[in-house]
């Protein structure tokens, strides 16, 4: 099965090859992109599928014809992206390549058709983009792009996020930037590494994690958040969605001091655990347990229960889940998985060390 990063590379190649937000009008475009990224040898290797035209001379005249092998454009792009990415081990070179690609994207092509038509009529501007970006800072311009861009642009950005990359704006051009200040490998938040661990230890949760990533890529925030909720419940109890059972699982794994003394983990949620333990002058907050439960509550409210809300004077006030919410909850869920993975590893190491004592 392809990794989620490989799927993202394929989707990026698909978006580029659709010729909607990224155009290849001449034979020099990809030579320029690859050369600027220090990958000129790849143009020499794959130029047959990157050039839209062929040329031939006849009786002293040069004729231009469509390149029949340009139909292999998608396959060639996918091969190039995979070759440079090298399963995430060549991140600097890959970022340089994607930066070169992003810089070649014409902002006019990513804007919705209505706004494009408006810009086409602004002939008095040397650069029609001045009409919408003039006098605004980079963040304001990027906000406009996010609001007015075609779906393909948003899909491109979502797939770049999976690869820990993002798109910014500077002086009428798109630019590539890191999605997080610290790389995914340093954070241990590499989707494939997490997927590999889940498939070995928690196969049902692995399927949910893949589904959450795919829902984010496709731009479905509620579905992504709902699946994150399933991950949270499933990682602590894979037998069924029984709140008591998964809370017991959370209690067993939590490293909060004195939590093993609590008879019913529902008491922690209800705030009655200290009383049930007979404690009056001291208080345990069980902060790890509470934080994970709050993540569960958040993913429930913005996921499966999104259509519920308080009714005031016959008006129902519902929450609105955004892609920013989905990314936030997905990242927190990944951090939870990393914490569980490392906590289990530490416990396993401790058991091994105890076995060696004699």
* pLDDT average, residue stretch 281-308: 95
> Residue 3: what pLDDT?
85
Residue count of the chain, please give it: 358
pLDDT range class, residue 183, cuts 50, 70, 90: very low
How confident is residue 190, by pLDDT bands cut at 50, 70 and 90?
Answer: confident
Within 10 A of 343 (CB to CB), how many other CB atoms are there? 14
pLDDT at 186: 43
The pTM assigned to this predicted structure is 0.78
Distance CA 312, CA 163 (A): 44
What confidence tens digit (pLDDT) does each residue in 47-75 have? 999 999 987 776 667 778 899 999 999 99
Look at residue 160 and tell me whether its pLDDT is greater than 70.
Answer: yes
User: For all residues of the chain together, what is the average pLDDT?
Assistant: 89
Position 184 scores a pLDDT of 43
Alpha-carbon distance of 205 to 227, in angstroms, equals 10
How confident is the model at residue 273, as a pLDDT?
Answer: 92
Query: Under the phi-then-psi rule, with left for phi > 0, alpha for psi from -120 to 50, and beta for the rest, what region is 137?
Result: beta
What pLDDT shows up at residue 114? 87
Digit-coded pLDDT (tens) for 222-261: 999 999 999 999 999 854 445 668 999 999 989 999 999 9
17-47 residue pLDDT tens: 999 999 999 999 999 999 999 999 999 999 9
For the stretch 281-290, contacts whose Cβ atoms lie closer than 8 Å and that sit 24 or more positions apart, written own/partner, are 284/256, 284/257, 284/258, 284/259, 285/256, 286/254, 286/256, 286/259, 286/262, 287/256, 288/254, 288/255, 288/256, 289/250, 289/251, 289/254, 289/256, 289/259, 289/265
Cα 11 to chain centroid, rounded: 13
Region 105-134: mean pLDDT is 84
CA 155 from centre of chain: 10
Euclidean distance between CA atoms 322 and 177, whole angstroms: 22
* Model pLDDT for residues 148-159, shown as the tens digit of each residue: 999 999 999 999
Mean pLDDT check: name the lowest of 176-185, 223-232, 325-334.
176-185
- Check if the beta carbon of residue 223 is closer than 8 Å to that of residue 216: no
Would you state the pLDDT for residue 355? 56
Burial environment of residue 57 by CB neighbours within 10 A (0 to 12, 13 to 18, 19 or more): exposed
Confidence of residue 115 (pLDDT cuts 50, 70, 90): confident
């Amino acid at each position: 099965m392809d990794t989620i990063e490989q799927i993202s590379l394929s989707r990026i190649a698909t978006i580029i090859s659709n010729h909607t937000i990224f155009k290849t009008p001449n034979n020099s475009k990809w030579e320029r992109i690859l050369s600027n990224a220090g990958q000129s040898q790849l143009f020499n290797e794959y130029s047959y599928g990157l050039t839209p035209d062929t040329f031939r001379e006849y009786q002293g005249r040069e004729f231009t014809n469509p390149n029949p092998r340009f139909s292999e454009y998608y396959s060639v792009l996918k091969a190039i992206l995979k070759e440079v990415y090298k399963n995430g081990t060549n991140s600097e070179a890959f970022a340089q390549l994607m930066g070169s690609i992003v810089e070649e994207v014409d902002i006019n092509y990513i804007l919705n058709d209505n706004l494009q038509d408006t810009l086409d009529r602004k002939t008095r501007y040397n650069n029609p983009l001045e009409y919408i970006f003039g006098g605004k800072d980079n963040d304001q311009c990027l906000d406009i792009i996010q609001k007015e861009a075609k779906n393909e642009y948003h899909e491109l950005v979502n797939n770049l996020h999976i690869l820990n990359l993002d798109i910014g704006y500077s002086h009428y051009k798109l630019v590539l930037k890191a999605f997080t200040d610290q790389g995914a490998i340093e954070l241990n938040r590499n989707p494939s590494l997490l997927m590999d661990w889940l498939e070995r230890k928690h196969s049902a949760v692995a399927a949910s994690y893949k589904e959450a990533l795919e829902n984010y890529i496709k731009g479905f925030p509620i579905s992504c958040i709902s699946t994150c909720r399933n991950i949270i419940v499933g990682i602590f109890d894979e037998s069924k969605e029984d709140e008591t059972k998964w809370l017991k699982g959370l209690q067993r794994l939590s490293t909060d001091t004195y939590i093993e003394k609590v008879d019913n983990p529902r008491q922690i949620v209800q705030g009655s655990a200290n009383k049930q333990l007979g404690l009056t002058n001291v208080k345990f907050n069980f902060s790890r347990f509470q934080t994970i439960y709050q993540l569960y509550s958040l993913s429930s409210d913005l996921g499966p229960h999104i259509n519920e809300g308080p009714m005031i004077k016959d008006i129902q006030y519902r929450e609105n889940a955004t892609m920013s919410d989905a990314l936030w909850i997905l990242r927190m869920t990944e951090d939870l998985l990393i914490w569980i993975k490392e906590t289990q590893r530490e416990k396993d190491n401790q058991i091994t060390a105890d076995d060696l004592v004699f």
